[in-house]
Amino acid sequence: DLKAERLTRPNMGHIGGILLDENTCNTWSQICDFQASSEDLLVAAYPKAGITWMQEIVDMIHHGGDEQMCKRAPTYDRHPFIEIVAPKPVPSGLELAKAMSPPRIIKTHLPVQLVPLSFWKQDCKVIYVARNPKDSLVSYYHFQRMNHGLPAPGTWDEYFDAFLAGEVPWGSWYDHVKGWWNAKDRQRILFTFYEDLKEDPKREIQKVLQFLGKDLGDAVLEKIIHHTSFQEMKNNPMTNYSSIPSFIFDHSISPFLRKGTIGDWKNHFSVAQNERFDEDYEKKMSGTSLKFRSEL
Ligand code: A3P
């Protein structure tokens, strides 16, 4: 009886100073030892940057724009989430990855320094998605409210402080984006932005196609744009996480595909919080060429 089931929020631990689920910490040596294939594609992002969106785009590209093929299973069964050791029925990323044959699309939220070394040894292609921190913070707050597989976020004000301090699962947003930005010139990493994808999906999907060495033609490109739009993904049970039981993901608290916009932070940040945020941002992001747009 799923209704009767309750999930207690997880205990957390640290790996290399990064806050992670205790189950992930306890499996860490196996995660580190994961053997990638050179054909595997890694899709990486800090939580709530739009990784599910990019996963769907890449899955459509891999299957030549065949949306029925992309409806073969929910996102989390199609693309192993390599560091996750989640409650059933969500599969463990490692088990799922090992049961699949390459070329695999593998998902991670890990900061670049914690990625299993094999991905670099095999010179795998990586697509990183970054999203402006204000919308990331808001989206993450609502996600931690609805996802009982993560710690409860506390009040909005408490969460705001925790995010700025980097005391949230997968660590500091600031370190995450800077780390991946610095790595992009050493490895085969396509660094993309949520805001760019919103602004011009065609242009951005073309970049992904080029990075993957594919040319599918205009009709297929249009199909991919349509199938991966917010509304289509929100209504698609294979992309909207509705198959996860509600004692884990409670969409009545906040749906997984919540708003899908740029600038929702304006409905959450107080004037004082916004000032504090900007001041703190300048300090943490000084000396990087990485720039974000928090409105279009
Ligand atoms: P919001 O909470 O702001 O709505 P992730 O997949 O990395 O967990 O990110 C989830 C965020 O991406 C959510 O943001 C979600 O709505 C948004 N998102 C998912 N698919 C999208 C799409 N096709 N277009 C725009 N935003 C999308």
pLDDT tens, position by position, 60-95:
999 999 999 999 999 999 999 999 998 777 789 999
CA of 230 to the centre of ligand 1 (A): 8
User: What is the average pLDDT across 224-229?
Assistant: 98
The reported pLDDT for the residue numbered 87 is 74
| CB-defined site of ligand 1, < 6 Å | 45, 47-53, 135, 139, 142, 228-230, 233, 257-260, 264
Say whether 128 sits in a helix, a strand or coil. Answer: strand
Question: Residue 112 is encoded by which pair of tokens?
Answer: 């670049």
Q: Where do the DSSP E strands lie in the chain? A: 12-15, 18-21, 41-45, 105-108, 125-130, 189-193
Q: Which tens digit of pLDDT belongs to each residue from 199-217?
A: 999 999 999 999 999 999 9
Interatomic CA distance for residues 129 and 2, integer angstroms? 34
Q: How confident is the model at residue 1 (pLDDT cuts 50, 70, 90)?
A: very low
User: What is the average pLDDT across 16-22?
Assistant: 97
109 is catalytic: yes
Query: Of the candidates 107, 124, 100, which has an alpha carbon nearest to the alpha carbon of residue 39?
Result: 124
The reported pLDDT for the residue numbered 90 is 79
Mean per-residue pLDDT of the chain:
96
4 has pLDDT over 60 = no
User: What is the average pLDDT across 162-191?
Assistant: 97
* Whether pTM exceeds 0.90: yes
